[in-house]
Structure 1
Amino acid sequence: MSEQYGVLVDGEFEERSLYQVTSKGFTQPIWCRNNTYDEYVSKEINRSYGKLDVEGRVVLDIGANIGCFTRWAVDKGAMHVISLEPEVNNFNMLSLNMKDEENTTLHNKALTSSQDGDGVLYLSKTGKNPGNSSTTPRRGRVEVSISFMSVATLKNKHPVIDVAKIDCEGAEFEFMETLIAAYPDLRQVALEIHINGFGLKKAQDLHDMMLNNGFEAEVPPRLHNESLWQTLATYIKIGG
């Protein structure tokens, strides 16, 4: 491979060797970086998102990281997968893992409710967990420049989305209501709701917003412990 693959450590690029794994639920292997959580993430996909009915559907992957969920959805027969990942080193891995896949569209962007253009992403310094980046400022993080895509731009590029997986380290609070309004035919959503640093009230309000927009919780979020980092919920549109 001529391309360099790696992570940022204290804001500086470090190259990492690659290896392949085929985790449960996948029919094809996925490339992972050594000395990162990439393989662990791949092993969690089927358990976390196995309730999503993606076969023959248009699927949105927000916070695509290296492409584990995107790969899983393709392997499960998704008609098309639209993947957004703002961090460039993760995006390079996503592109590698989706190489030659015609039924995917990859955007090196972070989703926002209304802003297109430049933004900032906050990365952990160690490079161990490259997927744990956030558009929300956190103490001790490294700032990197990224590009934003608004929900309106997403809708213009991709007018139909049936199923969504959303794991974006707190950015969900900023855009979810706008996303749900833009896609009234969205039938199923796996949503990681982040609690630590945001609070239970915001998490409860987001859950209530989903219920008020015609969804029911197939897998309810755990909204009882302020110290939880996050909770994963799966919603399905009533009558969908």
Structure 2
Amino acid sequence: MSAPARIAGSLRRTARAVAFTMRHTRNRVDVLRALIHSSDQATVELRDGTSITAPELRTLIPLLTEVFVNREYEHGDVRVEPNDVVVDIGAHVGVFALYAASHGAARIIAYEPSPVNATLFAHNMKRNSIANVQLVHAAVGDRLGSTTLGLQKWSVGNIVFDNIGLEPSENTVDVSMITLAEIFVNHNLERINFLKMDCEGSEGAVLTAATEALQRVDRIAMEYHDNWSRLEHDAIARLLTKAGFMVDVVPSRTPFIGMIYAKHASLTGGSR
């Protein structure tokens, strides 16, 4: 990418961040100051009082926009309902968990492998008095054991190398790994009403090993990453359709990335 293109892209991102700050935050002065000074860690207070701290604003504001403003984890009947059991794979610092709690989820089980993100996730749940959430510091993939997590410069984009078939980079940490089937066992779950996934390419590995477990999932909203995942979005859609889901694929403006929404065909009379 040329220097002018990089500058133009940076200016567009900054403009979007400023617009979000002015429209949706209480502490806009602090947020704008953090944007100007490129602060390493920042807290955003939304107008409804929700407070979220992340390692940097560059990734936090787009996530807040996706989840709270654009509602990208809602699509038709695929949405969090009151009293849902929600599993969040790739929980980051808790943006989606806070969203699910605000929509009446009865129980939220969150998996996040990054040590920094997991620490801030716990902080954000405590800060917002969310008591019905359980954080597990682990990755989810196609087997039980341990794996290598590649730590990126930004708090999103951390990659589980085993799940995408790449060799580890230099900046890594070893983390535990679990399967979707074991999540049911470990948390004594009969069903998962809403499964959210944003796991930076690990979605293919997670779903490949989850054929039977998927029969106990009602609704899925997930981000796909065709440049990293073992399965591209069309293969994931076929897998979910074969497992009994009605599937919608919604590409984004970003190449290789988009959303997949799935509702199990056994559900009748609504979204539960």
Would you say same fold, with TM above 0.5? yes
Report if aligned partners of 1:28, 1:75 keep a CA contact under 8 Å in 2.
no
Q: Which of these residues, 98, 101, 123, is aligned with residue 71 of structure 1?
A: 98
Root-mean-square deviation (CA, aligned residues, Å) is: 2.6
* Correspondence for 1:206: 236
Q: Which of these residues, 199, 208, 212, is aligned with residue 181 of structure 1?
A: 212
For residues 170 and 85 of structure 1, do their structure 2 counterparts lie closer, same or farther at Cα, with a shift above 3 Å needed?
same
CA distance in 1 between counterparts of 2:222 and 2:182 reads 21
Aligned AA (1:148): M
CA distance in 1 between counterparts of 2:181 and 2:260 reads 25
- The answer to whether structure 1 residue 104 and structure 2 residue 128 are counterparts is no
For residues 140 and 115 of structure 1, do their structure 2 counterparts lie closer, same or farther at Cα, with a shift above 3 Å needed?
closer
Residue 139 of structure 1 and its aligned partner are, at CA, apart by 8.3
State the Cα deviation string for residues 72-131 of structure 1 (Å, max 9, x = none).
000111011100000000001111111142211100000122223x2101122xx3x311
* Correspondence for 1:29: 51
State the Cα deviation string for residues 134-181 of structure 1 (Å, max 9, x = none).
113378662222221233431212223111110111111112143352
Higher strand share: 1
The number of equivalent residue pairs is: 216
Aligned AA (2:160): T
- The answer to whether structure 1 residue 236 and structure 2 residue 263 are counterparts is yes
- The answer to whether structure 1 residue 130 and structure 2 residue 149 are counterparts is no
Deviates more, 1:163-172 or 1:179-188: 179-188
Q: Which has the higher contact order (CA 8 A, sep 6+)?
A: 1
CA distance in 1 between counterparts of 2:119 and 2:173 reads 16
- The answer to whether structure 1 residue 165 and structure 2 residue 176 are counterparts is no
CA distance in 1 between counterparts of 2:41 and 2:209 reads 40
For residues 31 and 54 of structure 1, do their structure 2 counterparts lie closer, same or farther at Cα, with a shift above 3 Å needed?
farther
Task: Indicate the SS of the match to 1:147.
Answer: strand
| TM-score normalized by the length of structure 1 | 0.80
Report if aligned partners of 1:36, 1:130 keep a CA contact under 8 Å in 2.
no
Report if aligned partners of 2:87, 2:110 keep a CA contact under 8 Å in 1.
yes
CA distance in 2 between counterparts of 1:35 and 1:102 reads 26
CA distance in 2 between counterparts of 1:37 and 1:166 reads 17
| TM-score normalized by the length of structure 2 | 0.71
